[in-house]
Structure 1
Amino acid sequence: MTEIQTPRLLLRRWHDDDLVPMAEINADREVMQMIGDGSVRDLEQTAEAIEQWEEEWDEEGFGLFAVELLASGELIGFVGLSVPAFLPEVLPAVEISWRLGRQFWGQGYASEAAHAALEFALEDRGLDRVISICRVGHEASENVMRKLGMELERETTHPVYGFALGVYAIDLTEFQA
C-alpha cells in the first residue's frame, strides 16, 4: 500500500470512510468554483470519482492520494497525480492536482502535500516532467505551483467550458526534493 508521511500529513489510498468527508468538500460551492463548470458534486458523484481515482492507481501506478491530518486522522482532501485527459493538447502528460476543504486553506497543507507527491513522481515513479493546470487567475493554486518550482508553460482555453487555463510545468530533474 502506497503511503507518504510528511511532518503534518498522511497521503494514502482511499478508504470507505473517506466518502462522506470528501463529499462534504465537493459540496462546498467555494471549493468547487474554480473546478470544471463550478458545480458541486453530491455523494454519488463523489463515490464515482473515488472509484475512478482508485482505478487510475491500478492502471497507471499513480493516482490521487487521500490526505489526512496526522494529528487527528481527519480527511482534508486530496493531492496527487493523474492523466489530464480533459485537455488532449497537453498529452502525453501527468498532472499534479489538489483539492482541500475550505477550513484547511491558507495553512500550507496543499504545498506540503504537493511537494511530497512530486517527490513520489520523481523518486518512486520515475517521471521526468509533471504539469499542473488551473484557471487563469486562481491565485491560490498558482501560488502553490510557484512554490513547487513550476513555471507557466502556456495559456490555453478549456475545451468544454471556454475559460482560460494556465498550464504550469516542472522538469523533475530540477526539482528540489
Structure 2
Amino acid sequence: MLETDHLILRQWTENDLQPFAELNADQEVMKYFPAVLSREESDKLANRFKDMINFNGGWGFWAVEMKATGEFVGCVGLVNQPDRFDFSPCTEIGWRLNKKFWGQGIAKEAAEASLAYAFNVLNLSEVVSFTSIHNTPSENLMKRLGMRKQALFLHPALPPDHYLAQHVLYKRSRE
C-alpha cells in the first residue's frame, strides 16, 4: 500500500469490482483501448491485478481511492513486461481513471508515488510507459512525469493497420 497527500494505492477488494466495471464500460475512458470491457472481462482484469500484487509481494497495478472519501478512482501502478515488446524486458507504469477524476492531478500524484516506489523500493534503473499516438492526454502526463520520448512502435496485440496500433514509448531513468 502507498499513500500520498490525497490518495491510497492499495490491493484490490470486492468493493472495487463494480466501479472498475463501470469505468471499463465507459466509451470515453476506453477510447484508446481496442474495446470496452464486459463485467466479466473487467472482473478478470481486476483479479489479475490482485494476483499480480500478491505474486510481486505488494506491488503492481494498485486500486486507487481518495483518502478523504474512500471513493474508488481507478488503477495506477507498475507491471513487468518481460518479453512482450521489442524493448522488453522492462517495467511499465500505467493508469486508468474514472473520467470524474480527470484533470485534477490525481493520475500524476498516483503515478509519482508509483515511480518513487519503482526507484526507491524496487531499485529499478528505469521505467517505461506507452500509449496510442492518439492519446495525447496520457502522453502529456508522461511528459509531466519527467519521462522522455524514446520511439514509435506497433503494439504487438493489435493488427498493424488498426487505428490504435501505432504507439509512442516514453522512459524515465532513476535520477
Q: Structure 2-normalised TM-score? A: 0.91
2-side partners of 1:113 and 1:160: how far apart? 27
Between 17-26 and 39-48, the greater mean CA deviation after superposition: 39-48
1:88 Cα deviation (Å)? 2.2
Identity of aligned residues (%): 37
1:128–1:171: 8 Å Cα contact kept in structure 2?
yes
Residue 80 (structure 1) aligned with residue 82 (structure 2)? no
CA drift of 1:49 comes to 0.6
Match in the other structure for 1:171 = 173
Equivalent residue number for residue 43 of structure 1: 39
CA contact (8 A) 1:134 1:166 kept: yes
1:126, distance to aligned residue in structure 2 (A)? 1.2
Q: In the alignment, which residue of structure 1 is the partner of 2:21?
A: 23
Q: 1:124 is matched with which residue?
A: 121
Contact 2:83 2:89 in 1 (8 A): no
User: Which ranges in structure 2 are unaligned for 5 or more consecutive residues?
Assistant: none
Q: Deviations over 1:120-151 (max 9, x none)?
A: 11111111110001011311101110111100
The change in CA–CA distance for 1:18 and 1:86 in structure 2 (over 3 A counts) is farther
Counterpart for residue 98 of structure 2: 101
Aligned to 2:155: 158
> Where do 5+ consecutive residues of structure 1 fail to align?
none
Q: TM-score, normalised by structure 1?
A: 0.90
Query: 2:53–2:62: 8 Å Cα contact kept in structure 1?
Result: no
**2:136 corresponds to 1:139:** yes
Take 1:92 and 1:56, find their aligned partners in 2: how far apart are those partners?
17
User: What amino acid does structure 2 have at the position aligned with 1:67?
Assistant: V
Q: How far apart, in 2, do the equivalents of 1:24 and 1:93 lie?
A: 30
What does residue 55 of structure 1 align with? Answer: 51
Which one has a larger percent helix, Structure 1 or Structure 2? Answer: 1
Farther-moved stretch of structure 1 (4-13 vs 54-63): 54-63
Residue 109 of structure 1 and its aligned partner are, at CA, apart by: 0.5
For residues 72 and 99 of structure 1, what CA distance do their matches in structure 2 show?
A: 19
Instruction: Give secondary structure in 1 for the equivalent of 2:81.
Output: coil
- CA-atom RMSD in angstroms: 1.4
